C-alpha cells in the first residue's frame, strides 16, 4: 500500500464516524480519498439490552453464545461485564465445561476477543449457512442451547438452520441499526464518487434508501457474501468481494483490483 495504488480514487465510507477510523485510515494509506456518508447509526435495542443481559445470565456450561457481527460482539461483551459466573471471559479455563462462543467471520472473532469473549468456533464460510454447517447436530445427552446475540432485524437463515438441526435457539437483540440522514452535500459527494465500500447489508440498504441505486458509485466493494447478496438484490454489480471478510480484507481486495487497471 506504500505505492498508494488508489491515488485519486474517491471512495464512499458508509460506517458511523465512531466506527469508520480503520477503514478511513486504510483507504488513505492506499492513496484514496474517503467520502464520508454515514447512513447508519448503531443504538441500543428498544429494551435497553435487558433481554440480552437476561439471556447471558442464564448461560450454563456447555451452552453456546453466537455473535454474528463486531457490533454484536461488543454489545455482548459489555453485557457480560456485569454478569458473574459465566465461563466466556478471556483467559478463563474451559475445564469443567464452560460456555462456548462462536463468531461469524474473522472481524467478528477479533472484536469478540477485544470484548473479552474467548472464541471457540469461526466457520470457514463467513455466512449464517457456514455456521450452521460447522455446528452440525447438538451433542447427544448434552446441552443444545444457543443464545444468538445480533441485530434487532436480521436474516432468519441462522436461527432457522440451527433449529432444523436440533438446537434450542434463543434470539436476543443486542443492538439495532437505524437510519442516519445524509445532507444534500453528502448526497452530492456520493453521486460524484468513484467507489463505495459496503461493510454490511445495512449499509447497502441505507445508502440505496438515501441516494437511490443510480447514484451508487460504479465501483462496489463488498466485505462478504451476505453483503454482496444484498447489493445484488438492488441490481448493484459487485466489483470485488473481500476474500478475508474484514475491513482490511475489503481494502486489500480493492487494492488488488486496482493493480489490474491500465496505467
Q: What is the pLDDT of residues 94-106, one digit of tens each?
A: 333 478 999 998 8
Task: List the CATH code of the domain at 10-39+180-258.
Answer: 3.40.50.10090
- The span from the CA of 115 to the CA of 65, in Å, is 13
What pLDDT does residue 95 have?
32
Q: Which CATH architecture has domain 50-176?
A: 3-Layer(aba) Sandwich (3.40)
What pLDDT does residue 96 have?
36
Q: List the alpha helices (DSSP H) in 47-170.
A: 50-57, 70-80, 106-114, 128-135, 157-164
3-state DSSP assignment of residue 40: strand
pTM of the full structure: 0.82
**pLDDT band per the 50, 70, 90 thresholds, residue 140:** confident
Residues of the chain with CATH 3.40.50.10090: 10-39+180-258, 50-176
Give the residues across from 43 on adjacent strands. 176
Q: Give, in order, the Cα–Cα distances in Å from 186 to each of 35, 54, 179, 181, 239.
A: 8, 40, 15, 10, 23
Residue 25 φ/ψ region, left for φ over 0, alpha for ψ in the -120 to 50 degree band, beta for the rest: alpha
Mean pLDDT of all residues in 118-128: 90
Give the pLDDT confidence of 193-235 residue by residue, as tens digits. Answer: 999 999 999 999 999 999 999 999 999 999 998 899 999 999 9
Mean pLDDT of all residues in 34-45: 95
- Strands annotated E in the chain: 10-13, 33-36, 40-43, 64-67, 100-103, 145-151, 168-179, 195-198, 219-222, 240-241
Amino acid at each position: 500500500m506504500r505505492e498508494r495504488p488508489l491515488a485519486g480514487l474517491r471512495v464512499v465510507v458508509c460506517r458511523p464516524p465512531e466506527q469508520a477510523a480503520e477503514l478511513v485510515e486504510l483507504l488513505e494509506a492506499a492513496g484514496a480519498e474517503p467520502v464520508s456518508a454515514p447512513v447508519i447509526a448503531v443504538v441500543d435495542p428498544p429494551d435497553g439490552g435487558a433481554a440480552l443481559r437476561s439471556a447471558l445470565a442464564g448461560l450454563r456450561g456447555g451452552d453456546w453464545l453466537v455473535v454474528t457481527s463486531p457490533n454484536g460482539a461488543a454489545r455482548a461483551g459489555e453485557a457480560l461485564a456485569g454478569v458473574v459466573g459465566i465461563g466466556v471471559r478471556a483467559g478463563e479455563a474451559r475445564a469443567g465445561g464452560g460456555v462456548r462462543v462462536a463468531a461469524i467471520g474473522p472481524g467478528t472473532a477479533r472484536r469478540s476477543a477485544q470484548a473479552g469473549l474467548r472464541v471457540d468456533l469461526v466457520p470457514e464460510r463467513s455466512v449464517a449457512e457456514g455456521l450452521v454447517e460447522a455446528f452440525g447436530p447438538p451433542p447427544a445427552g448434552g446441552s443444545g442451547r444457543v443464545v444468538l446475540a445480533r441485530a434487532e432485524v436480521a436474516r432468519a437463515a441462522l436461527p432457522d438452520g440451527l433449529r432444523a438441526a436440533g438446537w434450542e435457539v434463543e434470539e436476543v437483540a443486542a443492538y439495532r441499526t437505524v437510519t442516519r440522514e445524509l445532507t444534500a452535500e453528502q448526497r452530492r459527494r456520493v453521486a460524484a464518487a468513484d467507489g463505495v465500500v459496503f461493510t454490511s447489508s445495512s449499509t447497502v440498504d441505507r445508502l440505496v434508501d438515501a441516494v437511490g441505486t443510480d447514484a451508487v458509485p460504479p465501483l462496489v466493494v463488498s466485505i462478504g457474501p451476505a453483503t454482496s447478496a444484498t447489493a445484488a438484490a438492488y441490481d448493484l454489480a459487485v466489483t470485488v468481494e473481500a476474500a478475508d471478510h474484514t475491513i482490511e480484507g475489503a481494502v486489500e481486495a480493492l487494492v488488488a483490483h486496482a493493480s489490474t487497471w491500465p496505467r
